[in-house]
Amino acid sequence: AGQLAVIAAKLNCAPDVHAIKEALALALPSVQGQMENLAVDMGYTPGVLALFYKVAIGSGVAPLVIFMGVGAMTDFGPLLANPRTLLLGAAAQFGIFATVLGALTLNYFGLISFTLPQAAAIGIIGGADGPTAIYLSGKLAPELLGAIAVAAYSYMALVPLIQPPIMRALTSEKERKIRMVQLRTVSKREKILFPVVLLLLVALLLPDAAPLLGMFCFGNLMRESGVVERLSDTVQNGLI
With cut-offs at 50, 70 and 90, classify the pLDDT of residue 1: low
112 and 76 belong to one structural domain = no
17 and 72 belong to one structural domain = no
151 and 169 belong to one structural domain = yes
Answer yes or no: is pLDDT of 232 > 90: no
Q: Is residue 57 in a domain?
A: no
Please give the mean pLDDT across all residues of the chain: 85
The pLDDT value given to residue 68:
92
Q: Where are the alpha helices (DSSP H) in the chain?
A: 2-11, 17-26, 29-41, 48-52, 61-73, 77-81, 90-108, 116-123, 130-140, 145-170, 173-176, 188-205, 210-225, 229-236
Answer yes or no: is pLDDT of 65 > 60: yes
Q: Is residue 8 in a domain?
A: yes
The pLDDT value given to residue 200:
95
Gap between the Cα atoms of 58 and 52, Å rounded:
9
Q: Is residue 22 in a domain?
A: yes
Q: Is residue 131 in a domain?
A: yes
With cut-offs at 50, 70 and 90, classify the pLDDT of residue 105: very high
Q: Is residue 54 in a domain?
A: no
The pLDDT value given to residue 201:
94
Residue 182 CA to chain centroid, in angstroms?
31
177 and 190 belong to one structural domain = no
Highest mean pLDDT out of 56-60, 155-159, 181-185, 190-194: 190-194
171 and 189 belong to one structural domain = no
Answer yes or no: is pLDDT of 160 > 80: yes
Q: Is residue 34 in a domain?
A: yes
- Tell me what the mean pLDDT of segment 76-86 comes to: 86
- Tell me what the mean pLDDT of segment 41-58 comes to: 79
Gap between the Cα atoms of 73 and 222, Å rounded:
10
190 and 172 belong to one structural domain = no
119 and 200 belong to one structural domain = no
What total number of domains does the chain contain? Answer: 3
**What range does the domain containing 130 cover?**
86-181
Answer yes or no: is pLDDT of 92 > 80: no
